[in-house]
Amino acid sequence: MADNPQVDDKLSEVISENVSEQKKETLEEMLSRHRKETNDLQSKEMAMKKAAAKGSKAEQKAKKKQVDEEIHRLSTKLKERQAEELALLGYSNTTDKQKGNLDNIVKAIAGVSVTNHVEQSKPSKSVKRREKRAQQEAAREQRIQEEQSQIVSDRLIENERLEQKLEPLGFTINEIKPDGHCLYRAVEDQLALHSGGSSPYTYQELREMVAAYMRKHAMDFLPFFLSENMADGEPEDSLTERFENYCREIESTAAWGGQLELGALTHCLKKHIMIFSGSFPDVEMGKEYKSGDETGPSSLSIMLSYHRHAFGLGEHYNSVVPSSVR
């Protein structure tokens, strides 16, 4: 008898469901799987956008819109399922339980036990740092789920505004891998474009340069770092230690880069940096390095795009290149 693909598929689904029921995930395991599923969707989006970047400009625009709509549909479906799975473990987004559930998710991400126990000694500084990072990640996860409930995709609107801004200037976006290194990879892409070949620095070398510059010019960055990272009730004498830990994360992890790191990059490279956005006013950094009549790679500005709603994950940077390059 010939094999019946439909029966096989249904049988596989039943087996998969039974296995899922037998193997109950912990919250930590579920969050880890959710991150992997989100990363897989990001990879799929990158591949689809690459495939769509062919044909005439009109064809590319139509294909890009179709890709955005399809990824938005898949992303919404994925986040809804993930929210349902979290709800089964008791972590819903209801108003009454939201704060307690968020706190537990934060602790799970940070590697801190969520079981009830007698309060012990004051948490160590390292635990505080992990919980603060986890708090940011959990808040980001929560924000993602809230955004997915919107009927109109903020990302689609943002992309359309950015495209309307860049197209008349003769520029387009070169998609950068969303792996936490996007700022540094985007700058690396710009430097490669300026040199007409490979970049003089890899994204990892750029990270190390930024960390070294921030350490050397700590007093220039500490006021801004303090305003964003000062924990309630924490003594100021720990500021230097926390700033050093921050610099260490820049050079040795996939920590996302922001305004502090951009400020360091413009001085490290002695480059004018232009950041275009479809959600906020454009930003210029390092105007003192902006070239006038000079020509050549050293006089070119670094041009990036800032995406508030990229991949349904929040902040992301891409490289802005001449349309003729694509």
Is 121 among the domain residues? Answer: yes
Is 10 among the domain residues? Answer: no
Residue 61 CA neighbour count, 13 Å, CB half: 9
What is the spatial distance between Cα 183 and Cα 320, in angstroms, rounded to a whole number?
Answer: 12
Tell me the residue type at 188: E
Do 129 and 64 lie in one domain? The reply is: yes
Q: Which of 129, 151, 173 is the last residue of a domain?
A: 151
pLDDT of residue 188: 98
pLDDT of residue 110: 46
| Residue 28, token pair as written in the block | 């930590």
8 A C-beta contact, residue 141 and residue 98:
no
pLDDT of residue 115: 43
- Nearest-CA neighbor of 161 among 301, 69, 280, 284? 280
pLDDT of residue 214: 96
Do 243 and 308 lie in one domain? The reply is: yes
| Catalytic pick among 34, 267, 272, 316 | 316
**Total domains in the fold of the chain:** 2
CA dihedral 130, 133, 139, 145 (to 10 degrees): -90
pLDDT of residue 279: 85
- Nearest-CA neighbor of 316 among 90, 117, 162? 162
pLDDT of residue 123: 65
154 catalytic, yes or no? no
Q: pLDDT by residue for the chain (326 residues), tens digit each?
A: 444 545 455 544 544 454 444 457 777 778 778 888 887 888 888 888 878 777 777 777 778 888 888 888 888 888 888 878 877 776 654 444 444 455 555 444 444 444 444 444 566 777 777 777 777 777 777 766 665 555 456 778 888 899 999 999 999 999 999 888 999 999 999 999 999 999 999 999 999 999 999 999 999 998 888 766 655 555 555 788 889 999 999 999 999 999 999 999 999 999 999 999 988 899 999 999 987 655 556 668 999 999 987 755 568 999 999 998 76
Do 280 and 266 lie in one domain? The reply is: yes
Do 122 and 157 lie in one domain? The reply is: no
Do 98 and 213 lie in one domain? The reply is: no
Do 173 and 298 lie in one domain? The reply is: yes
CA distance to 23, 99, 105, per residue, from 92 (Å) = 21, 10, 11
Range of the domain at 259: 153-326
What is the spatial distance between Cα 211 and Cα 205, in angstroms, rounded to a whole number?
Answer: 10
Do 163 and 142 lie in one domain? The reply is: no
Do 255 and 181 lie in one domain? The reply is: yes
| Catalytic pick among 182, 194, 268, 307 | 182
182 catalytic, yes or no? yes
282 catalytic, yes or no? no
pLDDT of residue 151: 41
Q: For the chain, what percentages of helix, strand and coil (3-state, to nearest 5) are there?
A: 65, 10, 30
Do 86 and 161 lie in one domain? The reply is: no
pLDDT of residue 1: 47
Which of the 8 DSSP states describes residue 323?
G
| Catalytic pick among 9, 40, 179, 282 | 179
pLDDT of residue 95: 42
pLDDT of residue 208: 98
Is 7 among the domain residues? Answer: no
